[in-house]
Structure 1
């Protein structure tokens, strides 16, 4: 039985995660061994992994999807911090409000609220 799934993103500079994942998204630093940093929180969530031929509405498939409480607030913080928005904030037909943003490692992140 799978207990959790962890995303691992290769980087030469661990500190690049601090503003995007810690300051804006509010994830806590859970582990730092010098060669790997893990951010997270105490929320309980379902274990999920998705496979897609497109990202919905003919967008590219994002590397990660992160659900947040206040998508509009996170959108404004990402823009103000200069992160590239690759798909503007949109209310989708399937009941989510979302946007895509490029993280400091070049990954496309789908930020959404239901």
Structure 2
């Protein structure tokens, strides 16, 4: 048996309001839209992962999602220009990632990161 993918399902009263954050900001494509559920995806090949944590590292809360991008500084600047709520500012972590936390439209804490 092989796990082929892992899909987090986030509750939202209005799934369409996710378009600006997950589509426009992060560049994810809409691959399914039934109105009551919208699925965003990347063309990049990924490996299914689940992280289980007691803290988020560096004395932060555990984020709801972690999204690795190729240029965290570019996304950070876009988040600032969109005036989104940055929960944990851009930081180089001792375990080799550069990251920040931002609040999505549904109140979920999203860890945006790049490996250094």
Q: TM-score, normalised by structure 2?
A: 0.95
Matched residue SS, 2:10: coil
Matched residue SS, 1:56: coil
Note if contact 2:16-2:35 (Cα within 8 Å) is conserved in structure 1. no
The corresponding residue for 1:84 is 85
* 2:13 is equivalent to residue 12 of structure 1: yes
Q: Distance in 2 between matches of 1:89 and 1:34?
A: 34
- Give the drift of 1:42: 1.9
RMSD over equivalenced CA pairs, Å: 0.7
- Give the drift of 1:13: 0.8
**Unmatched segments (≥5 aa) in structure 1:** none
Extract structure 1 runs of 4+ deviating beyond 2 A: none
The corresponding residue for 1:72 is 73
The corresponding residue for 1:34 is 35
